[in-house]
């Protein structure tokens, strides 16, 4: 479920100036820093003035920066407690095991944060849309391509029609042409949002398809064009992003979709198993 701050930013985002939008994204991604930084320090991060920071706070319904910071601090304790627990475990590790264990710990944190951000009502509605769709088209490129492929494959395994478009090129253009209200488009994008994925979300929505975004910010371009948007945590060790949270969310979506029509799911799994055996695809 989105927090009060996230909900305020999402509601006001379209009416904010470009600098205010940049500040809003900065605050969402760096809440601990935003909770104690001065207006000048916050503004400097995005080349904005202190006055712009104050105006953003007021646009979000706070008296000023102190009011916004008070709201952030009210939401931080439980999050910081989880992070502190993980950091304590990492600190106690032998030096030669520190990096692998830190990666595992960050993935645990990403899964926990992703789970905590799921709006149950939106989740159930998205699952129904996928389970009842004529076809689900999954659009993902770059770092999200692997999990996008996994989503489409997993939906096919449980008896649903699904395809993954991973290149953003001609195949995407041709496939999108035939989307209508009976279909679902799932767009995946994090960090730097690929233009073709955003365009696919926008076109699908214009053609009446249900749109679902799996992204790292509720104010990302994908989320702005989505009927249902899910925020996934992607913090990684060193230079990399983690897809653990996104993969866990996808696992949850597929598991829930499989239970919408258990008979269909069972029949699909049995048919696949028979094909594996008939074609001798498995080793004993």
Alpha carbons 37 and 50: distance in angstroms, whole number: 11
DSSP-derived 3-state class of residue 210: strand
Alpha carbons 61 and 30: distance in angstroms, whole number: 20
**pLDDT tens for each residue of the chain, 284 residues long:** 455 888 899 899 999 999 999 999 889 877 877 888 889 989 998 999 999 999 999 999 999 999 999 888 887 655 555 455 455 555 544 455 567 887 888 899 889 989 988 999 999 999 999 999 999 999 999 999 999 999 999 999 999 999 999 988 888 999 999 999 999 999 999 987 899 999 999 999 999 999 999 999 888 889 989 999 999 999 887 667 899 999 999 999 999 999 999 999 999 999 999 998 898 888 76
Hey, what are 283's tokens? Answer: 């080793």
For residues 104 and 235, is the Cβ–Cβ distance under 8 A? no
For residues 91 and 102, is the Cβ–Cβ distance under 8 A? no
For residues 129 and 211, is the Cβ–Cβ distance under 8 A? no
Hey, what are 228's tokens? Answer: 């249902």
Q: How far apart are the first and last CA of the chain?
A: 45
Alpha carbons 47 and 17: distance in angstroms, whole number: 13
Q: Which residues contact 43 (CB under 8 A, 6 or more apart)?
A: 23, 49, 50, 52, 53
For residues 188 and 212, is the Cβ–Cβ distance under 8 A? no
């Amino acid at each position: 479920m989105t927090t009060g701050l996230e909900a305020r930013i999402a509601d006001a985002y379209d009416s904010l100036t470009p600098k205010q939008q940049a500040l809003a994204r900065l605050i969402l991604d760096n809440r601990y820093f935003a909770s104690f930084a001065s207006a000048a320090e916050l503004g400097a991060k995005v080349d904005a003035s202190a006055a712009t920071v104050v105006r953003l706070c007021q646009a979000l319904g706070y008296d000023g920066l102190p009011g916004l910071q008070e709201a952030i601090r009210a939401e931080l304790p439980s999050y910081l407690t989880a992070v502190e627990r993980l950091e304590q475990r990492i600190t106690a590790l032998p030096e030669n095991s520190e990096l692998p264990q830190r990666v595992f710990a960050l993935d645990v944190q990403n899964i926990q944060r992703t789970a905590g951000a799921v709006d149950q009502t939106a989740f159930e509605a998205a699952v129904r849309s996928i389970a009842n769709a004529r076809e689900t088209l999954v659009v993902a490129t770059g770092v999200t391509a692997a999990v996008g492929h996994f989503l489409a494959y997993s939906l096919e395994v449980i008896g649903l029609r699904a395809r993954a478009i991973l290149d953003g090129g001609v195949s995407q253009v041709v496939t999108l042409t035939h989307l209508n209200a009976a279909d679902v488009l799932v767009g995946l994008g994090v960090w730097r949002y690929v233009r073709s994925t955003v365009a696919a979300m926008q076109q699908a929505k214009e053609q009446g398809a249900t749109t679902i975004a799996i992204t790292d910010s509720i104010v990302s371009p994908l989320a702005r064009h989505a009927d249902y948007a899910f925020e996934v945590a992607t913090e990684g060790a060193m230079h990399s992003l983690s897809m653990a949270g996104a993969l866990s969310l996808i696992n949850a979506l597929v598991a829930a979709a499989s239970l919408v029509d258990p008979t269909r799911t069972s029949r699909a799994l049995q048919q696949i198993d028979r094909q594996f055996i008939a074609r001798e695809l498995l080793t004993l």
